[in-house]
């Protein structure tokens, strides 16, 4: 399991969370106990990082959950049974779990799930038209994956807090200085927006950032083609990645919806 792909997944999940991750149950306990002031402080801190703040928050949430879950799955019989009953996670979160687990941890986590699948598959009809649907339904989807559902709840709660912070000048100033939202989370914020004034602010800021990124991309291409790499600014250097994040969100959250 220690393949390049697995290491890449680990790098994506860890890099997305930076150095601020708390591990395992300690992180979740502290997160749940966080006061309103702590949450606002976290939000302001999220706005100072590169990338979409909602994407970054959800990646951190998933990382903390998966770190705790891989530990329990390697050692706790009821957790292993519940995991088998749920038929595991969706493909994306299966690989993200693997990225934070060891081969030994996976060898302890998965036997009950695989045995359950073996029993279920043995019970299916062998008529192709009757078996195809039930076999496909064994693959966890965003609707049936526990991590996807957790992230959906967290996204709703976080976007509600985010919208509240935009009601005041401090929140708006912090947002103006941030990298802004990806399109997907811009849509989530607009849904949660309490008033046309907040929606107008969000759309205006997004339009300004998209224009600015387009200009940075043009300048980057112009200078690179002219062999003037030394003249490329930091903003222009980051523009290709910034454009992709704005359009598609962070790659660690790419689940079909």
Asked if 249 touches Zn ion (CB under 5 A), the answer is yes
Query: Which segment (108-116, 141-149, 166-174, 207-215) binds Zn ion by CB under 5 A?
Result: 141-149
Number of residues that bind Zn ion (CB under 5 A): 11
43 in contact with Zn ion (CB under 5 A): no
d(CA 135, CA 128): 10
For position 52 contacting Zn ion by CB under 5 A, the verdict is yes
189 interacts with Zn ion by CB under 5 A: no
Nearer to Zn ion, 82 or 232 (CB): 82
For residues 252 and 87, the answer to whether their CB atoms sit within 8 Å is no
Q: Does 93 bind Zn ion (CB under 5 A)?
A: yes
**97: contact with Zn ion by CB under 5 A:** no
Task: Please give the angle made by the CA atoms of 14, 16 and 21, to the nearest 5 degrees.
Answer: 60
Q: Which is nearer to Zn ion, 144 or 219 (CB)?
A: 144
Burial of 83-113, coded b for 16+ CB within 10 Å and e otherwise, reads: bbeebbbbebbbbbbbbbbeeebbebbbebb
> Taking CB under 5 A as the rule, does residue 53 contact Zn ion?
no
Question: How many helices (H) and strands (E) in the chain?
Answer: 14, 0
Taking CA atoms, 149 is separated from 56, 64, 88, 132, 255, in Å, by 17, 15, 13, 26, 12
Nearer residue to Zn ion within complex by CB, 87 or 117: 87
- Out of 84, 148, 174, 198, point to the residue binding Zn ion (CB under 5 A): 148
Q: Which residues contribute to the site for Zn ion (CB under 5 A)?
A: 52, 54-55, 90, 93, 145, 147-148, 182, 185, 249
């Amino acid at each position: 399991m220690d393949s390049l792909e697995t290491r890449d997944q680990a790098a994506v999940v860890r890099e997305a969370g930076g150095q601020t991750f708390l591990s395992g149950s300690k992180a979740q306990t502290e997160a749940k106990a966080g006061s309103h002031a702590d949450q606002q402080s976290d939000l302001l801190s999220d706005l100072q990082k590169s990338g979409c703040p909602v994407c970054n928050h959800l990646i951190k949430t998933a990382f903390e959950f998966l770190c705790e879950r891989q530990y329990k799955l390697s050692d706790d019989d009821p957790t292993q049974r519940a995991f088998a009953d749920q038929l595991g996670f969706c493909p994306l979160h299966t690989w993200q779990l693997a990225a934070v687990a060891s081969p030994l941890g996976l060898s302890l986590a998965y036997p009950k799930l695989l045995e359950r699948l073996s029993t279920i598959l043995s019970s299916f009809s062998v008529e192709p038209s009757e078996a195809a649907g039930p076999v496909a339904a064994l693959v966890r989807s965003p609707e049936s994956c526990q991590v996807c559902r957790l992230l959906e709840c967290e996204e709703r709660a976080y976007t509600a807090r985010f919208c509240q912070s935009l009601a005041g000048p401090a929140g708006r100033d912090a947002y103006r200085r941030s990298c802004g939202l990806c399109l997907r989370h811009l849509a989530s914020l607009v849904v949660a927006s309490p008033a046309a004034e907040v929606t107008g602010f969000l759309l205006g800021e997004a339009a300004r950032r998209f224009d600015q990124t387009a200009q940075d991309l043009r300048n980057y291409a112009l200078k690179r083609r002219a062999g003037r790499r030394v003249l490329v600014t930091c903003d222009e250097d980051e523009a290709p990645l910034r454009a992709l994040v704005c359009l598609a969100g962070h790659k660690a959250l790419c689940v079909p919806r």
